[in-house]
Structure 1
Amino acid sequence: MLLDALVNTTDAVASTRSRLAKVEALAGLLAQLEPDEIAPAVGFLLGKPRQGRVGVGWRGLSAAMGAPAAESSLTIADLDALLDRLAEASGAGSAGDRSRELGEFTALATEREQDFITRALLGDMRTGALEGVLTDAVARAADRPGDVVRRAAMLSGDLGETARLALTGTAEELDAVGLVVGRPVLPMLAATAASTSAALETTGEASVEYKLDGARIQVHRAGDEIRVFTRSLADITHRVPEVVEVVRNLPVRDVILDGETLSLDEDGAPRPFQETMSRFGADAARETVLHPWFFDILHVDGRDLLDEPLSTRLAELERVAGAHRIPGEVTADPEVAERVSRDAIEAGQEGVVVKAIGSPYAAGRRGSSWIKVKPVHTFDLVVLASEWGYGRRKGWLSNLHLGALDPTGEFGEPGGYVMVGKTFKGLTDELLRWQTEYFPQIEVRSSAGTVWVAPTTVVEIAIDGVQRSSRYPGGIALRFARVKRYRDDKPASEADTIQTLRALLRE
């Protein structure tokens, strides 16, 4: 299929706020794709090419982009093959090789195709074609039940391959997609509440567990082989030998565990999140040691536990990894829940997660079964731009423009980000240096004082609340916002929503 057809579909999807219209347009495209075009096309539509990052930023794209072609000739397969070549380029001279490849390829692209290629590589599609919409489109195009497609995508962690199977395989093959030890699944997510009592009203009897100030991990063991994945499903096994060793010593042969890892100081208290992430991101072991803590178990020795109630999973978790279980208590009493929350804070942790004791593990979904509670309001927002500093910060990118996800398009583009404030507070010299080096790599445009970037960088922001404001399209502004940390472990599609922030007005 010509790349132009994909561009036309993204334009049609971006031009409507109707979810149904988006699904129909995407389904029409998917139904016409050849089998080997399906997974690449899904990646392009989401701004998440199957090759991942290929070492090309905005500046590299701009420098390589020449005059556009007059007519369309490129195919989806051509673009996929280009990204393979870009991803494989390495070593001395690789930057020049990438620039040459891009220049030769984009010379064959029309102006609209050049824009599409740029947005696909920078993760800035802004069509409102979030994974939920595209998953529904796959179900429509393949004439398969939506819940079956969603489950297959969640358990495989790969919507592109799920789409290929749904569109080219049998119903039985799609139904058969399940947990595979060694293949990561999308993690279950938590909603938020203002207090443990409010959370308990929603869940009923629940396991109230410490919310650690660490990094999410998913650990798979199949016999002697152990693999560790991040929340974004990246394999980091070689970076966390101490986690591997803990799991190797558990009394089990096959297991999938969900949890967090963090570094501790000499007194056993958690070190700052930045230290954990610095160690977490190292390609070689460092002096800082990471400790794993587990809060769920998805599979054990041939038995899948996803659909079992949390009470059953916790019993198995205690048997398998009791010494490495995250602290918590099962209760329906608000006073007990509040006490656990206070204990977590006194131990240096973020707060608690309140989990309905009868709930299954809903991979990849955020619902009311898990509810996180933090005493200080913190939200994961997306950096939209950064302003050049002045005075002591002259020469550094400083003040951040912050956006909240708008999944429905209530205040702008569906799937886009609504600006809710700015802040430079909490930025250390180390963070200033990092963002000054990094943001120009994902720049989409700039002025004398501001660099606008692709909305792919998640930052955790602490606030005292929100207030009504006509300055921003969402009708609110952050109060006393300050940076806590960058969330390298979290994709922008999981940022907090404008609706969540607006709910603070009612509180």
Structure 2
Amino acid sequence: MEYSQLVECYDRLDATPSTLEKTAILAELFADAGDLLPELTGLARGRVFASWEPDDLGVSSSLTVRALSDATGVDADRIGDWRRETGDLGDAAAKAVENRVQTTLFSGSLSVRRVYDTLRGLATYEGPGSQTRATDDIADLLGDASSDEARYVVRTIVGTMRLGVGEGTIRDALARAFLDDADDAVRAVERAYEVTNDFRVVGETARDRGREGLDELEAELFRPVKAMLARKAEGLEDALESIERPLLEYKYDGMRVKIHVDGDEIRVFTRRLEDVTEQFPDVVEAVRDEVTAETAVVEAEVVGYDPETGRPIPFQEFSKRIKRKTDIDELAAAHPVTVHAFDLLYHDDDPLVEAALSDRLSRLEAVIDPGSETVVRAEHVRTDALETAEEFYGDALDAGQEGLMVKNLDAGYQPGSRVGYMLKVKPTMEPLDLVVVQAKWSAGRKSEWLGRLRLACWDADCEELREVGRMFSGLTDAELREITEKLEPLIESVEGRTAKLRPEVVVEVEYEAIQESTKYDSGYALRFPRFGGFRDDLGPEDADRFERVKRLYEDQ
């Protein structure tokens, strides 16, 4: 398939606001995809990796501009001006190609396969010369691209497709393309995606083996499933009344992980499905010594502790280990961990996602060495008595943890859903986890630092972000410096001193109240928001939901 055919599909998606029409367009694309179906299920959202694969192409916006300049002969500063005018590097790329001042000696057409393979290859470049190789590869693509093709190649590179296509649209399109009964078909595709996190596998299975094949898909080692998410309870009494056969566990302030074990091979995935095995050699060593299963997927909370006091350290401090590439052993020694195991999703080649929690926990307790020091069973109690639960809740808070999780012992595991049979109980007016969508360079002596963060919550129904206010003050110089380092690579466009950002960074935000506001598209604004730290373990889709902001406002 020529890439121009896919670009025509992109243009049709961009031209309609209707989700049903987008679904029909993609269903047609998938039905005619042939051997390219796996690639197209990703490219439809501008992605060349499954959610659990390394999804960092290692290409910055500035490097992309350099490649554009090399391919077209247009000055990089001029491309930067177009980017600021349009607010979209993809549109700037189209303009650069339209105004190219040089052409390649031997130009060819772009195929979908060439674009897909070239972009995946960018993530493999490491060491000296890697940026030059990446720039050359991108320039080769853009040198053969039409203006419209260049627009979408660049949007795919920088992760800003702007087509309104989310996971739900891909799911519905696959169901429509390859299955019959609409309602049951959607649920069959959804369930298959929940246990694979890979539309490439789901699409080919739906096409080749239909409903029966989808039903047979299961969780596998080293292909992590999304974390099951909890709803916020109104209080401990409400949680006990809502959950049958309740199990109470500490809610730890740490990094939620899934640890995959296959003999001596052990890999650690975060809640965002990032592989952080290299950053946590101490976790790998502890699991190898203290988990007795030959094959397993253990879900746990990894908590950093102060080696002198034994108290948990704030997640904002511990989270520095997640992205660390150097001095890993030194940081591990400074911030030793405990792995608080609380679920088992795979054991001895047996997927357990659909098994009852009580069965999963029985098997979990059997695979943890009773004498283990680092991998331990999360603190828990089985009770529906309010007095006992309140005492346990107090113990959790006294131990420096966030609160409690209340789970249904009869329930299965529902990846990626905020289910009614798992609730979290935390102190009232708890902080919100929000996405930074815009920032502004400060004035005076702080003029080189980004601040004044505009914040947004996640609207799951629309699959988009909705703004809830700005953080104007209260940031230290050190915090401003760290914020700038994280946000500058994400700048999409600049107007005056205001930078629009690719929405990737999540921060914890404290505040005094929530009020109605016509200034932000959520209809609400945080009163006196304060920076509580970065949440490197969360992505935009993991941010607090619009529904929760609304509920917190109503409950004030």
TM-score by length of structure 1 reads 0.90
SS across alignment from 1:385: strand
Measured after TM superposition, the shift of residue 191 of structure 1 is 2.1
Q: Note if 1:177 corresponds to 2:213.
A: no
Aligned residue for 1:285? 329
Alignment of 1:378-389 (within 5 A): 378-389=431-442
Measured after TM superposition, the shift of residue 12 of structure 1 is 4.0
Q: Which runs of 5+ in 1 are unaligned?
A: 410-414
Q: Equivalents in 2 of 1:42, 1:431: separation in Å?
A: 39
Q: Give percent identity, aligned residues only.
A: 34
| Counterpart residue identity of residue 299, structure 1 | Y
2:485 is aligned, of 428, 437, 447, to: 437
Q: Equivalents in 2 of 1:125, 1:229: separation in Å?
A: 26
Larger CA Rg, structure 1 vs 2: 2
Whether the 8 Å contact between 1:135 and 1:150 is mirrored in structure 2 is yes
1:64 is aligned, of 50, 64, 67, to: 67
Q: Note if 1:465 corresponds to 2:503.
A: no
| Counterpart residue identity of residue 263, structure 1 | G
1:359 is aligned, of 408, 411, 417, to: 411
Alignment of 1:356-505 (within 5 A): 356-375=408-427, 376-409=429-462, 415-425=463-473, 427-505=475-553
Aligned residue for 2:86? none
| Counterpart residue identity of residue 40, structure 1 | E
| Counterpart residue identity of residue 337, structure 2 | L
Aligned residue for 2:311? 269
Runs (4+) of structure 1 exceeding 6 A deviation are none
Q: Note if 1:79 corresponds to 2:127.
A: no
Aligned residue for 1:219? 259
Deviations 1:106-131 (A, max 9, x none): 23333333332233222223333221
SS across alignment from 1:451: strand
Change (3 A) 1:246 1:457: same
SS across alignment from 2:190: helix
Deviates more, 1:358-367 or 1:165-174: 165-174
Alignment of 1:88-103 (within 5 A): 88-103=124-139
Measured after TM superposition, the shift of residue 492 of structure 1 is 1.5
Aligned residue for 2:37? 38
Whether the 8 Å contact between 2:434 and 2:507 is mirrored in structure 1 is yes
Aligned residue for 2:48? 49
Whether the 8 Å contact between 2:2 and 2:112 is mirrored in structure 1 is yes
Whether the 8 Å contact between 1:45 and 1:120 is mirrored in structure 2 is no
Alignment of 1:305-316 (within 5 A): 305-316=352-363
Q: Equivalents in 2 of 1:21, 1:496: separation in Å?
A: 29
Q: Note if 1:119 corresponds to 2:167.
A: no
Whether the 8 Å contact between 1:240 and 1:290 is mirrored in structure 2 is no
Whether the 8 Å contact between 2:188 and 2:211 is mirrored in structure 1 is no
Whether the 8 Å contact between 2:316 and 2:535 is mirrored in structure 1 is no
Aligned residue for 1:255? 296
Change (3 A) 1:309 1:114: same
Change (3 A) 1:332 1:7: farther
Q: Equivalents in 2 of 1:15, 1:210: separation in Å?
A: 49
Q: Equivalents in 2 of 1:346, 1:133: separation in Å?
A: 45
TM-score by length of structure 2 reads 0.83
Alignment of 1:142-221 (within 5 A): 142-143=178-179, 145-169=185-209, 172-221=212-261
| Counterpart residue identity of residue 394, structure 2 | R
| Counterpart residue identity of residue 320, structure 2 | S
Whether the 8 Å contact between 1:469 and 1:477 is mirrored in structure 2 is yes
Give the length in aligned residue pairs: 501
Give RMSD over aligned pairs: 2.6
Q: Equivalents in 1 of 2:200, 2:225: separation in Å?
A: 14
SS across alignment from 1:382: strand
Q: Note if 1:28 corresponds to 2:57.
A: no
Q: Equivalents in 1 of 2:487, 2:419: separation in Å?
A: 33
Q: Equivalents in 1 of 2:12, 2:549: separation in Å?
A: 30
Q: Equivalents in 1 of 2:207, 2:432: separation in Å?
A: 38
Q: Equivalents in 1 of 2:153, 2:387: separation in Å?
A: 55
Q: Equivalents in 2 of 1:105, 1:424: separation in Å?
A: 42
Aligned residue for 1:412? none
Change (3 A) 1:97 1:246: closer
Deviations 1:228-279 (A, max 9, x none): 2222222222322222233222233222110110211122211121232122
Deviates more, 1:65-74 or 1:464-473: 65-74
